Structures are given as C-alpha cells and as structure tokens.
Chains A and B, each alone.
Chain A
Amino acid sequence: MTSLTRALGAILAVFLALVPLTSQARTLDQIIADGTVRIGVHPNLPPLSFQGPTGEWQGYDVELGKLLAEKMGVQPEFVATEFNARVPSLVSDLIDFSLGALTRNSERMKVIDFTFPVYTENLAVLTTEKAGPVKSWKDLNKKGLTMVGCRGCYPVQWMKENMPNVEVLVVDSGSDLVRTIAQGRADGTVANLEWHKRFTDNFPDVKWVIVDDVIRTAYCAIGVSKGNETLKTYLNAAIYELQSAGTTEALWEKFWGAPPLTKVVPNPYW
C-alpha cells in the first residue's frame, strides 16, 4: 500500500503545484499592448457563429467580435468554445471574453462577471406533428414523452424543474438536439430556438411544429473574468455605442432575417 500512498501523494503534489498557476486575466491595457484580443465563440451554432468550409469564422458573434476589437484597436482572435468550455476558458485565461450565447444569471455571476446584455434568447417549443396538438409547453408535460436538451445549456434545468412528467434526454449540441427529435428519439424540446431552429432545415420531411410564444426571456451578455473591471466597463461602453447606433440590431436582422423576439434596451449607466 505504500506505493499507493506515494502515488496519491504525487498526484496531490502536482495538483497543488498547479493551483497557484490559475492564470490571471488580462486587463484592457494588457490586451491593447498585445495587439490581439482572444474572443470565445461557439464553433457550431449557425447563424450565431460557425466556421465555413475553409475554416473561416462567420456569424453574428464573429461580426460583433470584429466590431468590438476594432473599437479596441486590436486584432480579434476567435477561439472555439463549446457550451461547456466557455467559463473554464475564461477562468484559465485562454480567452479574454466570451460570446457564444452566454446566459446571464445570479448562479453564474458567482463565478464570472457579465457585461450588460448583448442579445436575448427566448424559450419556445419545438416539436413535430407526431406529438399531437400542442398549443403551449404545458401540453408536452405528459408521462411517456421525452424532451431533449443540450448538455451545458440552461434550458435543460428549466425542463427538469417545470416539466416533471417528462424524461429529459441530454445530447451534445444543437444539431444533435434537432436530429434526435427528427429521428423520433425525443418528442420535442423547450429551448432557445434562436440557436437551434436553423438545424430543422436539415430535415425537410419532418412536420415541424414551432410554438414561439415566448415562455421566458433570458439575457445573454459578454462574460469576462471575475473582477476584470477595466475590460468589463470598456465592453459596456462599446456595447452601448453599437446598440444605440442600431448596429447590433441591423446585424441581427442580417443573420436571422427578422428582428429579435425581445429587444435589448441600450443602457448607458455603466
């Protein structure tokens, strides 16, 4: 057993050695001095952000990131961060700030800081005709039905709390979520359809039903490291300038073809 104790001791030592290395986030000054800002975006969430066939970044978040970098006078560097990687990437200083539909809530604000809201996401129902007549999410809260969500997304918790009669299946991404409904593995989802609706185009034969009465609106903001005040305040000012000039809304309409379901009111009181 001594070698086990020794092995565990070694693991613990390595771990403790790593703890003080948890990196320190870069301030606005350091980013400007470096000339490059590292922005976390989701790698596969069209039209929010995605990579084209040759790997070039596209989408709303990418355009927004470029505008913010331009204001800072630096080059943007986009870093792929899946839902689950957004916050760890901030904490370990792999990125300076995180886009990628980061929902702001009090639980998460214990860990990172958020700017003012950038856009909204609105919980709505996506199902198929097979599920019978559905007028609201309550019609889906039935025994024997399976609702699907994607791992790392907030609506999974919402479904577990508000739809006690259904099974909640959790898959890996937005495209997987839509595919599981198309294949009949799940009966529907309550999700922020801004991010997932586009994938229904992959299954033209499925009789999709969308009930887009907004169930709940959540605000997505830019995430920064806890306590990174200089960067947060700067981003708040930059967001206000872009929002009050109508730039962000025009950008939204460019990518979604319609205005957002719930608009964000620009806030100058940062």
Chain B
Amino acid sequence: MHYTFQWGVAFSYLPELLAGAWVTFHLTFIGFWTGLVIAVFLAVGQVYGGPWLRRSISTYVVFFTNTPSLVTAFFIFYGLPEVGILWSPYVCVLVNLILNAAAFLTDAIRGGVASVRKTEMEAAETLGFSMLQKIRYVIVPHVAKVLYAPISNLYIVFILGSALAAIFGVEELTGTAFNIAARTFRSIEIYSITAGIYVIMTVIASTILALVGRWAFRVKARIF
C-alpha cells in the first residue's frame, strides 16, 4: 500500500507551473521595488519630517509590520468592495505587497537615513541641493551600501511570501500548483517540483542582486 511516485506525470505539467512562476516573478518584482521607492521617501520623511508626518508614517509602519500580510490582503480583497472599491485580484495582491514591502523597508531604511552624517547633509544644504537631490546624491548612496544585503534578503522573503496570492485568485506559482494537484491528485510530486522552482527562482534572484550590488554600490556580497 506504499504510495508510488509518478514523476513523469507531474513533470508533464512543468510548462503550466513555469507560467505560474512568471506571474510570481512580475508580481513580486513590481511590488517590492515600488515598495522600496516609496520606503525611501517615507524613511526620509520619518527622519526629517515634521511631527505630524512622522507620526502618520510611524502608525502606517507599525500597522503593516505587525499584521499578517494575509489579513491585510483579505481586507483589500473582500473588505474594500463593501465600500465600492473593486480591484482585480492581481491589483489587490500587488497593492497589498507594495504596502507591506514599503512598511518593512521604511523600518529598515530609517536607521540608515538617520546614520547619514549631519555634516554631509549640511554640505548638501550649502550647495543648495533640494530635498530630492539630497536623497539622490547623499542619502541613497550611503544607505544602499549599508542596507543592500538585508534588502536583498527581504526581497527573497517577499518572493516566497507572494504564495498567499493563490488565496485571492491570482494564478501564480502556488495557485497553479494547487490547481494541478486538484486535477491529478499528484500533490506530493507537484509540490516538490514547485518547491524546486522556488529554489531556482530565489537562487537566480540572489545571484543577480549580488552582481548588481557589486557593480552599482561596490557591495561585496557573497553569492553562496
């Protein structure tokens, strides 16, 4: 009565799984990096902004870093339609991802922004830099070097965490795996292959991030 693994059957669904992996990729790519851009501004706001701005940003960060992303996704997907906001499943999950990524990244970047030397900021001031220029030429180069590795790690966490999109009708990798498993009942084989695809995706992402880090910010990240 031992279960017999049927890898051939499972591998015949590889193209379908890879199509799902593509959705996982662009969902997390757009979501995370948009979140990062927002987070840079929020972190700057938290360090240099007025008390009200600081307080609002803190509330947002505390809320999203302390609620499961699944719960906020439920709120966006099933809660917002009650007040007439009906987004497509992809947009719902993407917005949730951006809001979560921005919150976590704001928290991570804030310390980096605060550690920019006062003298550097004063020098920028004397040169007549606008706030945007200060972010671009003083804050980002400083923060990037310190925070590149933890941010890269967070990106991997978000790729894996994007599996929750399956619950909200997005046909990404995990959702596709569920569909195939339901059709064929070959759950163990399908989920093993799915796990393998996630590993390959994250290894590729880490490698590219490490290479970009070396080239753009001279971050000496070990790939493996």
Contact = CB atoms under 8 A, between A and B. Distances in A.
Interface in A175-212: 176, 179-180, 183-185
Contacts of A228: 1
A25 B182 contact: no
23 contacts: A3-B224, A4-B224, A11-B199, A19-B5, A22-B188, A24-B2, A84-B181, A84-B182, A87-B181, A88-B187, A91-B187, A108-B185, A111-B186, A151-B166, A156-B182, A157-B182, A170-B175, A171-B167, A172-B167, A176-B78, A180-B169, A184-B86, A185-B86
Nearest to B184: A107
A180 B192 CA distance: 31
A226 B86 contact: no
Contacts, number: 86
Interface of A: 1, 3-4, 7, 11, 15, 19, 22, 24-25, 83-84, 87-88, 91-92, 107-108, 110-112, 148, 151-154, 156-157, 169-172, 176, 179-180, 183-185, 225-228
A151 B182 contact: yes
Contacts of B199: 11
A22 B187 CA distance: 13
B contact patch SS: helix
Contact of A184 (B81, B168, B182, B224): B81
A24 B1 contact: yes
A65 B168 CA distance: 32
Contacts of A227: 1
Contacts of B167: 151, 171-172
Contacts of A15: 192
A168 B48 CA distance: 48
B179 A151 contact: yes
B182 A4 contact: no
B86 A107 contact: no
Contacts of A1: 224
A103 to B, nearest CB: 10
Instruction: Report, nearest first, the 8 A-B pairs whose CB atoms are least far apart.
Output: A111-B185, A183-B81, A4-B224, A152-B182, A227-B1, A88-B187, A87-B185, A169-B169
B185 A112 contact: yes
B41 interface: no
B19 to A, nearest CB: 14
Nearest to B4: A226
Nearest to A83: B182
Given A91-B3, A169-B169, A111 B184 contact: yes
Contacts of B78: 176, 179, 183
A180 B203 CA distance: 37
